[in-house]
Chains A and B, each alone.
Chain A
Amino acid sequence: METNKKNVSIAKYFVYAGLILVSLASLFPFYWMFVMATNPNSAINQTPPAMIPGSNMVSNFQLVLDSIPFWGAMLNSLIVSSTITLGVLILCSLAGFAFAKLDFPGRTILFVFILGTMMIPPQLGLIPTYFIITELGWLSDLRAVIVPGLMNAFGIFWMRQYIASAVPDEIIEAARIDGCSNFRIYWNIIIPTVLPAFATLGIIVFMAIWGDYLWPLVVLQDQSMHTIQVALRSLMDDRVRDYGMILSGTFWATVPLVVIFLLFNKLFIKSITDGAVKS
């Protein structure tokens, strides 16, 4: 019994050591990003490279501002991500309400069809969609990203499941007795009930759109219309790379997300696991 206990405590120290090591490996690139973002290029290019934050925080970021429209790109990303998130929440909860609570012919087939579209890889229609956007005159226009982004099969699935389990039929019947139209029921009963699901789906959609790269890269060609992801990549274009400047841009584009995450980390992690577990 004694040796068993000893073994357990030794194992415990190993587990702690492992967890600490992995946590450090997870956090190190953030720290290192900050170190590079605050050091002059000369300190970065020496061997061994700088490991302690320097004093060039402002000047490195000034170089970023000279090189890309950083604030404009952040604003574009914010506009695109929040518009799509808001639109997806409304469209998906409307459709989810219809699929969960309204009877209409073909309901099951139409729903299964939506689930089926989730299996299609986005690259399959990439080229023709690019030409549709060209035809619409939306190249280098945020609408090119926003409008196709409003189509979200996962969101409809998600909202349908939530509404089916969270809204009792009796409440809807009672509202009908009071003479509510279906849209009023949606607006006054469904929306207040699904707010927790909005938070979850909202985080998943916002994160996905904020980080999206391929599609914005294809359709947002003017530098003034770049999202932050596309703009950050163009920092890598210079023949002689200034790593202090590059990582300064990357660091300051990452900070807002990290801050938001740390503030709402419980909700964040719950969203990600719910999104994964339920699908």
Chain B
Amino acid sequence: MAELQRDTRNSNDKRDSIQMNSNQEPKKPKKRSFSQRQRNMASGYMFISPFYLLFAVFGVFPILFSFYLAFFRWDGLGDMEFVGFNNFNIIFNDPLFWKSLYNTIMIGLMGTAPQLLAAILLAFALNSVLIRFKSVFRLAIFLPYVTSIVAVAIVFSVIFSNQDSGLVNAVLGVFGIDPITWTRSEWGTKVAIATMIFWRWVGYNTIIYLAGMQSIPNDLYEAAKIDGATLRQQIWHITIPMLKPFIIFTVFTATIGALQIFAEPHIFQGRAGRPEGMSVVLYLYRDAFGSNFFGTASATAIVLFFIIIIFSSLNLYFANRIGRSKKVGVK
């Protein structure tokens, strides 16, 4: 090994002297000595191996086993019993599963669609040259993102408490509206959870849109102004098209995040859960760790996986189309 090393050093020295001769122009060495290649190979594999080892144990194996387990009945202790597609039959015939899917999508829509719209408007306001104290506003709007989801869920559980003295109920009382039993009402639960999502994420998305708006070269606006474009035209024909990759990113992360919603309903409606706020992940969690139905819970995990794939490919499909139109816009 020592000899090999000396060998490389020699050849490197030679290369070095060649470089010196050619006026110190940094030339990329094309050919490496055999031993250097070998060493790079060895360290390359060694440096990336921790990920693959961890992924084998905590990634590949659990995923394959999930697919396997979905076809068995298992309580976690006794023998596994092969049941074919029965687990899928069970969940597809369970109204609560469909309810959880409906809730997940509904809460996702209520929590993200208005939120992304608000974030664009806020970013536009913060990007305006006329506005001062931008960094103060930015800080205030972003601060909720620093709190953990659990903290957000607890605070809003208290704000939306069922008691007459709960903050939202007290405010409604001022307007003569009867107090709402938030944790047990179909829409009350969804409004409360959507508010939690809105409050925590709107600043995050604003910051991302703001970064996107700041990456738009000013020349574009200048050119548009010379051509006599109004502010509205500038927004529609410059800001929004140039922002599309950022919009795609935020929609993508918000969709996937919404499909995996768990902490908010789990905290808001208590450990037992209730149908009004039941989400798919909560349904899975209850099935597995509440009732020890690990087979049906695995089947739910797989269904969720495919739902996420469907939504992701839809996003990707739109992202690709927008990628093309973006190129036209830039050049």
Contact = CB atoms under 8 A, between A and B. Distances in A.
B224 interface: no
Nearest to A218: B289
B146 interface: yes
Given A29-B155, A105-B41, A269-B207, A22 B141 contact: yes
Given A16-B131, A176-B12, A124 B63 contact: yes
A210 interface: yes
A110 to B, nearest CB: 6
Chain A residues touching B, range: 35 or more
B54 to A, nearest CB: 4
Contacts of B250: 276
A254 interface: yes
B149 A236 contact: no
Contacts, number: 282
A150 B50 contact: yes
Given A120-B63, A127-B66, A247-B154, A103 B37 contact: yes
A26 B203 contact: yes
Interface residues of B, number: 113
A127 B262 contact: no
A3 interface: no
B148 A124 contact: no
B98 interface: no
Nearest to B259: A121
Nearest to A174: B16
Given A124-B302, A153-B51, A276-B208, A32 B167 contact: yes
Contacts of A250: 151, 154-155
B228 interface: no
A60 B305 CA distance: 43
Contacts of B173: 47
A119 B63 CA distance: 13
Interface stretch (B81-89, B158-166, B319-327): B158-166
Given A18-B125, A124-B63, A213-B150, A48 B165 contact: yes
A33 B15 CA distance: 67
A268 B207 CA distance: 11
A129 B8 contact: no
A169 B288 CA distance: 51
A129 B58 contact: yes
Contact of A120 (B51, B59, B151): B59
A249 B222 CA distance: 53
Interface in A182-221: 182-183, 186, 207, 210-211, 213-214, 218
Interface in B271-317: 271, 281, 284-285, 288-289, 294, 297-298, 301-302, 304-305, 308-309, 312
B263 A132 contact: no
Contacts of B39: 181-182
B217 interface: no
Given A95-B51, A156-B48, 11 more contacts: A18-B125, A26-B202, A49-B170, A98-B48, A102-B47, A104-B40, A127-B294, A127-B298, A214-B285, A229-B150, A233-B266
18 contacts: A15-B125, A19-B126, A26-B203, A48-B165, A95-B50, A121-B260, A123-B281, A126-B62, A128-B61, A156-B48, A213-B262, A214-B281, A229-B148, A229-B150, A233-B150, A237-B271, A258-B147, A277-B215
Interface of A: 8, 12, 15-16, 18-19, 22-23, 25-27, 29-30, 32-33, 36, 44-49, 91, 94-95, 97-99, 102-105, 107, 110, 114, 117, 119-132, 147-148, 150-153, 156, 169-170, 173, 176-177, 179, 181-183, 186, 207, 210-211, 213-214, 218, 228-229, 232-233, 235-237, 243, 246-247, 250, 253-254, 257-258, 261-262, 265, 268-269, 272-273, 276-277, 279
Interface of B: 5, 8-9, 12-13, 15-16, 26, 28-29, 32, 36-37, 39-41, 43-45, 47-48, 50-52, 54-55, 57-59, 61-63, 65-66, 69, 76, 118, 121-122, 125-126, 128, 130-131, 136-152, 154-159, 161, 163-167, 170, 173, 199, 202-204, 207-208, 210-212, 215, 246, 249-250, 253, 256, 259-260, 262-263, 266-267, 270-271, 281, 284-285, 288-289, 294, 297-298, 301-302, 304-305, 308-309, 312
